[in-house]
């Protein structure tokens, strides 16, 4: 069993750390929120007083932070955590960040004898709680093989996308598609509802028709259609609109760098961004349905 330092215990990181504890690992956790730490301590995690204290002596460090600026600040420029780690430590960053930051941070890690890999996830908060996440890893083969047994405590599908940064590129492609799918699903359901259809009946019809997709199947955006999804709890928890705006921004940056056309992704980014600007940034991203309902 490994000595693990875990930083960032939000909607995703919290349940992921709980699964590592349940699998028998020795997990020292840190988050800026004491409440977030308490949830992991409750099941047997150890609370660290600082990010530094979470990583000192750890064999593996897992981070699950909002964006690239947090990851860079923590490991490199502000908290300088790489310099506090034992050489040989493996750092697995599961946050969704830009590939360039992941590559720069990974290069910095090597100066301290530390290996940094990107391992963003898909599967949402339900997948994090159930330990069924998909991990998309970018990094050397050897580091991937070392990380895999640990990732299997938190996920079901573990992919090696390529070198450092490749995990983030694959994740950004996936989330651009997710943003488009959720906006399209909400738009179609709203059209049906405005024309007198019952959202549950319409959802059942589309689930057996060619409009079937992940959002419709597992994450229906209309309140009351599905139990245990954010739409049925006032869009609380889940994947925040602000984070979807960030990911669609990453997709846009990636498309500019590679001169790829992403008109659908750009439109989705504008929709979620307008929704966030109307004060809904902290709600789950399926609340885009409310945007269509009101417009
Ligand atoms: P969140 O905002 O719920 O959690 C982030 C946590 O990081 C917070 O608890 C915050 O206090 C903590 N944090 C920030 N800076 C810190 C610091 N310096 N030291 C310690 N803790 C710090 O976000 P989330 O939904 O858990 O998402 C985390 C990452 O996972 C994001 O990059 C997101 O894009 C990605 N992601 C989220 C989902 C989802 O469904 N929520 C799914 C896949 C990927």
Q: Tokens standing for 177?
A: 């598609």
pLDDT in tens, 119-145: 999 999 999 999 999 999 999 999 999
111 vs 81: CA distance, rounded Å: 12
pLDDT in tens, 230-254: 999 999 999 999 999 999 999 999 9
Report pLDDT for 131. Answer: 98
Report pLDDT for 247. Answer: 97
Q: Tokens standing for 254?
A: 């990636």
248 vs 254: CA distance, rounded Å: 10
Report pLDDT for 204. Answer: 98
197, pLDDT greater than 90: yes
Catalytic residue list contains 171: yes
Q: Centre a 10 Å sphere on the Cβ of residue 38 and count the other Cβ atoms it contains.
A: 15
pLDDT in tens, 76-119: 999 999 999 999 999 999 999 999 999 999 999 999 999 999 99
Place of tokens 């846009």: 252
Catalytic option among 171, 194, 200, 257:
171
Question: Ligand 1: does its nearest atom lie under 6 Å from the Cβ of 8?
Answer: yes
| 86: exposed, middle or buried (Cβ count in 10 Å: 0-12, 13-18, 19+) | middle
Tell me how many degrees the CA angle 109-111-117 measures, rounded to the nearest 5: 20
| Percent of the chain scoring above 70 in pLDDT | 100
Question: Ligand 1: does its nearest atom lie under 6 Å from the Cβ of 85?
Answer: no
Q: What is the overall mean pLDDT for the chain?
A: 97
pLDDT in tens, 30-61: 999 999 999 999 999 999 999 999 999 999 99
Find, among 117, 108, 113, 109, the residue nearest to 165 by Cα: 117
How is 222-268 classified by DSSP, letter by letter?
STTSSTTSGGGGTT-SSSBHHHHHHHHHHHHHHHHHHT---HHHHHH
Among 18, 39, 66, the mutation site with the greatest number of ligand 1 atoms within 8 A of its Cβ is 66
**Count of residues for the chain?**
295
Tell me how many degrees the CA angle 210-225-270 measures, rounded to the nearest 5: 65
248 vs 285: CA distance, rounded Å: 12
Q: Which residues pair with 135 in a beta bridge?
A: 121, 158
Question: Ligand 1: does its nearest atom lie under 6 Å from the Cβ of 121?
Answer: yes
Atom in ligand 1 nearest the alpha carbon of residue 78: 18
223, pLDDT greater than 90: yes
285 vs 276: CA distance, rounded Å: 9
CA distance to 91, 198, 202, 216, per residue, from 222 (Å): 39, 11, 11, 10
Question: Ligand 1: does its nearest atom lie under 6 Å from the Cβ of 10?
Answer: yes
Contacts of 247 (CB under 8 A, 6+ apart): 96, 171, 172, 175, 176, 179
Report pLDDT for 295. Answer: 85
Helix (H) or strand (E) holding 174: helix 166-194
Q: Kindly provide the residue ranges of all beta strands, DSSP E only, lying in the chain, ordered along the sequence.
A: 3-7, 26-30, 46-47, 60-63, 90-93, 115-118, 121-122, 133-138, 155-162
Q: Coil, strand or helix: which one is 11?
A: coil
Residue 8 CA to ligand 1 centre (angstroms): 6
203, pLDDT greater than 90: yes
Q: Tokens standing for 183?
A: 């906006």
Find, among 152, 77, 82, 151, the residue nearest to 115 by Cα: 82
Report pLDDT for 30. Answer: 98
| Percent of the chain scoring above 90 in pLDDT | 99
144 vs 160: CA distance, rounded Å: 7
Among 34, 65, 178, the mutation site with the greatest number of ligand 1 atoms within 8 A of its Cβ is 65
């Amino acid at each position: 069993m490994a000595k693990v330092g875990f930083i960032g215990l939000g909607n995703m990181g919290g349940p992921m750390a709980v699964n590592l504890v349940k699998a028998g690992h020795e997990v020292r956790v840190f988050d800026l929120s004491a409440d977030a730490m308490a949830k992991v301590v409750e099941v047997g995690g150890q609370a660290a007083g600082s990010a530094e204290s979470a990583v000192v002596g750890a064999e593996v460090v897992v981070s699950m932070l909002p964006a690239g600026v947090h990851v860079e600040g923590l490991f490199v420029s502000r908290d300088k955590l790489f310099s506090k780690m034992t050489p040989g430590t493996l750092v697995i960053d599961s946050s969704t960040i830009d590939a360039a930051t992941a590559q720069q941070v990974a290069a910095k890690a090597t100066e301290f004898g530390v290996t940094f890999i990107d391992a963003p996830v898909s599967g949402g908060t339900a997948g994090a709680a159930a330990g069924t996440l998909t991990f998309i890893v970018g990094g050397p083969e050897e580091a991937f093989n070392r990380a895999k047994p640990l990732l299997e405590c938190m996920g079901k599908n573990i992919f090696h996308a390529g070198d450092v940064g490749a995990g983030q590129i694959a994740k950004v492609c996936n989330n651009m598609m997710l943003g488009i799918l959720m906006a399209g699903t909400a738009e179609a359901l709203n059209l049906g509802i405005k024309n007198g259809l019952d959202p549950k009946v319409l959802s059942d019809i589309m689930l057996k028709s060619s409009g079937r997709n992940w959002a419709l199947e597992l994450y229906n955006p209309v309140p009351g259609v599905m139990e245990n999804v954010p739409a049925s709890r006032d869009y609380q928890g889940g994947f925040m609109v602000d984070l979807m705006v960030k990911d669609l921004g990453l997709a846009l940056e990636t498309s500019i760098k590679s001169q790829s056309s992403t008109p659908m992704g750009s439109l989705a980014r504008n929709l979620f961004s307008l929704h966030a600007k109307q004060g809904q940034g902290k709600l789950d991203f399926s609340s885009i349905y409310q945007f269509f309902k009101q417009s």
